[in-house]
C-alpha cells in the first residue's frame, strides 16, 4: 500500500482541507502516515494569506525537498491556488501543484502524478470550485482530542482592500443544513465534545433551500444543531461584526451549549483606516456591539484581530485603536503587521508606513492588551469552569485544557493541578480557578 504524508500549514480551514484530502486518499488505497520518512508522497498544504505564512510554506517545502530527495513532493492549499505559476517556475523540483477549492479532487490529481515522466514539469490542477462543498466523512482529525473544526461555508463576498481570500478561496459556497447536521451527528458518535464552526464569515452562511433570514440563516442552523440531545459545545468562529446576527445572543442565553464566545473581525477602530480597508464600521458601532453582547451574555469571551501599519495610518489612527481597545476590553486580540498582498487594492495604496514604525505600533497594542487580558481573566478566579482536556503533563498531576472562553490554538489555556491519573485528553472536567498566569488560568481539579 502506498503511503502519503501531509504537512499541514495555516488556518483551521486548511486543516479541514487536509483532513478531507487524507481521508479521500485513504479511500483510494493510500496509507496516511505521520512521518515523511519512508513515505511514497509528501503533500505540503500551504498557507498563502500573509507574507510570513507564504515564507513558512516555501521554507517547509525546501526543507522537505532537501531531506527527502527521492520522495515526490507536491504542493496544495492557499499558496498553491494563488501562485501556481510562480511556484512551478521557482520550485521545479516539486511534482505538482494542487489548488484548494475542491480538496476531494486530490485523488484524481495524485492518480495523474503517477503518469508523470522524467523531464515533465510539475502537474498543475486548480479545480474551479463551482460545485457544492464536499460532504466527506473525515477519518483522522488533526485537532486536539475531543475537538473538531466544522467548515460550513467556503469563499467570501466581502471586498476588503487588504485581503486576497476571495481570489484564493473563490465565491461564497455554503453547505446545506442536512449535510452539516449529518456530519455533526457522525462526529458526536465518535465522542467529539467541542464543535468549532468555521467559515470566512459565519454570518454569511445560508441554506441553499432557504434564505439569509431566519428561515435559512446562521441562527437557524444553530437552532437545528441545538435540537440534538446531550452535552456538547458549539463555538462560533469568524463573524463579520457589521452583519453580526444578534439573534444568536438569545440562543446562547437560552442554551449554554452554544458557548459564549465570538470571534469578531474588527481589523481597526479608526474610521479613516476602516474606509481605506473597504469596511463600513467604526469605533462607536463596534463598542455598541460589544456592549450589547456583554449585557446579554456577561461571561462572554470576545476575540478580534487588528492590522497595524496599514497604508495611510497615522499616529492619531493608532491612538483611536488604543482607545477602542481600552474601552472594549476584549479578552483575546491578535495583532498583525500590514502585509501587502499582490493584486489587492491596498497593495497599490500610497502612504506606506515604515516597517520599524509598524513594529513599534504592534508592540504598543500588544502591551496594552496584555494588561487587559489579565484584568478580564481575573473575574473567573474563585469560580468553577468546565475544561476540555487537551494534554497530560508526564510525571506530574497536571493537565492542560481549555474552557468555553478559550478557542483552540489561539487563546490561553487552563492549567489544571492535582488531576487524578485516570483523566485522559478529550474528557471534560470541572475545575476551580485559583489564579492567572499571563494568558493562562490556573485551577484545581474538582471532578
Main-chain phi, psi angles of 242, to 5 degrees: -75, -15
Across residues 219-246, what is the average pLDDT? 96
Q: Give yes or no for residue 166 having a pLDDT over 90.
A: no
Q: What is the pLDDT of residue 216?
A: 67
Mean pLDDT computed over 306-334: 98
Q: How far apart are CA 46 and CA 53, in angstroms?
A: 8
pLDDT digits (tens, 9 = 90+) for 10-68: 899 999 999 999 999 999 999 999 999 989 999 999 998 778 888 999 999 999 999 99
- Rounded Cα distance, 109 and 418, in Å: 50
Q: What is the pLDDT of residues 105-128, one digit of tens each?
A: 999 999 999 887 777 789 999 988
Q: What are the tens digits of pLDDT across the range 138-149?
A: 999 999 999 999
pLDDT at residue number 135: 76
Task: Give the mean pLDDT of 308-319.
Answer: 97
Q: Is the pLDDT of residue 103 over 90?
A: yes
Set out the domains of the chain in order of their start, with CATH numbers.
3-125 (3.40.50.12160), 147-378 (3.80.30.20), 384-445 (2.40.50.140)
Give the Cα separation of 345 and 365 in Å (integer). Answer: 25
Quick one: DSSP state of residue 202?
G
Q: Is the pLDDT of residue 99 over 50?
A: yes
> Which burial class, exposed, middle or buried, applies to 341 when counting CB atoms under 10 A from its CB (0-12, 13-18, 19+)?
buried
* Pair 54, 48: CB distance under 8 Å: yes
pTM: 0.94
* 385 touches 422 (CB < 8 A): no
Query: Residue written as cell 465570538?
Result: 262
**Nearest CA to 21 among 138, 144, 179?**
138
Q: Are strands 428-437 and 384-393 parallel, antiparallel or unpaired?
A: antiparallel
Q: What percent of the chain has pLDDT over 70?
A: 97
Interacting residues of 130 by C-beta distance below 8 A, sequence separation 6+: none
Cβ atoms of 207 and 176 closer than 8 Å: yes
In the block, which residue shows the cell 504542493? 75
Q: What is the dihedral of CA 226, 229, 231, 234, to 10 degrees?
A: -20
Asked whether the predicted pLDDT for residue 267 surpasses 80, the reply is: yes
For residues 400 and 414, what is the distance between their CA atoms, to the nearest angstrom?
Answer: 6
Please work out, in degrees rounded to the nearest 5, the angle formed at the alpha carbon of residue 284 by the alpha carbons of 373 and 276. Answer: 95
Asked if pLDDT for residue 215 goes beyond 60, the answer is no
Amino acid at each position: 500500500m502506498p503511503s502519503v504524508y501531509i504537512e499541514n500549514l495555516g488556518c483551521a480551514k486548511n486543516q479541514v482541507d487536509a483532513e478531507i484530502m487524507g481521508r479521500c486518499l485513504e479511500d483510494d488505497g493510500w496509507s496516511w502516515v505521520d512521518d515523511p520518512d519512508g513515505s511514497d508522497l509528501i503533500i505540503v498544504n500551504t498557507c498563502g494569506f500573509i507574507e510570513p505564512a507564504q515564507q513558512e510554506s516555501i521554507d517547509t517545502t525546501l526543507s522537505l525537498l532537501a531531506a527527502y530527495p527521492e520522495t515526490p513532493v507536491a504542493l496544495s492549499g492557499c499558496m498553491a491556488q494563488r501562485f501556481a505559476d510562480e511556484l512551478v517556475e521557482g520550485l521545479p523540483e516539486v511534482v505538482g501543484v494542487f489548488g484548494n477549492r475542491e480538496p476531494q479532487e486530490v485523488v484524481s490529481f495524485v492518480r495523474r502524478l503517477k503518469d508523470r515522466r522524467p523531464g515533465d514539469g510539475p502537474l498543475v490542477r486548480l479545480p474551479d470550485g463551482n460545485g457544492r462543498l464536499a460532504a466527506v466523512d473525515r477519518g483522522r482529525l488533526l485537532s486536539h482530542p475531543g475537538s473538531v473544526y466544522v467548515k460550513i461555508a467556503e469563499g467570501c463576498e466581502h471586498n476588503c482592500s487588504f485581503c486576497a481570500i476571495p481570489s484564493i478561496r473563490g465565491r461564497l459556497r455554503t453547505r446545506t443544513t442536512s449535510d452539516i447536521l449529518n456530519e455533526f451527528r457522525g462526529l458526536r458518535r465518535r465522542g467529539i465534545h467541542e464543535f468549532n464552526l468555521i467559515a470566512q464569515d459565519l454570518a454569511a452562511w445560508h441554506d441553499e433551500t432557504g434564505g439569509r433570514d431566519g428561515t435559512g440563516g446562521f441562527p437557524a442552523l444553530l437552532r437545528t444543531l441545538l435540537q440534538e440531545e446531550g452535552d456538547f459545545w458549539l463555538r462560533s468562529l469568524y463573524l463579520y461584526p457589521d452583519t453580526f446576527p444578534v439573534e444568536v445572543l438569545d440562543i446562547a442565553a437560552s442554551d449554554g451549549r452554544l458557548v459564549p464566545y465570538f470571534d469578531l473581525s474588527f481589523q481597526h477602530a479608526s474610521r479613516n483606516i476602516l474606509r481605506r480597508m473597504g469596511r463600513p464600521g467604526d469605533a462607536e458601532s463596534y463598542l455598541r456591539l460589544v456592549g450589547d453582547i456583554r449585557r446579554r451574555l456577561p461571561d462572554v469571551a470576545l476575540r478580534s484581530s487588528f492590522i497595524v501599519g496599514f497604508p495611510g495610518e497615522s499616529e492619531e489612527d493608532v491612538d483611536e485603536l488604543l482607545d477602542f481597545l481600552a474601552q472594549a476590553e476584549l479578552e483575546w486580540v491578535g495583532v498583525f503587521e500590514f502585509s501587502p498582498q499582490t493584486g489587492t487594492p491596498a497593495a497599490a495604496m500610497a502612504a506606506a508606513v515604515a516597517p520599524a514604525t509598524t513594529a513599534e505600533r504592534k508592540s504598543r497594542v500588544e502591551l496594552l492588551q496584555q494588561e487587559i487580558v489579565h484584568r478580564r481573566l481575573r473575574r473567573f478566579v474563585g469560580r468553577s469552569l468546565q475544561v476540555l482536556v487537551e494534554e497530560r503533563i508526564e510525571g506530574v498531576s497536571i493537565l492542560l485544557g481549555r474552557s468555553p472562553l478559550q478557542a483552540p490554538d489561539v487563546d490561553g489555556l487552563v492549567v489544571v493541578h492535582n488531576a487524578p491519573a485516570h483523566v485522559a485528553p478529550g474528557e471534560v472536567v470541572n475545575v476551580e480557578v485559583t489564579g492567572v498566569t499571563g494568558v493562562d488560568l490556573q485551577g484545581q481539579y474538582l471532578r
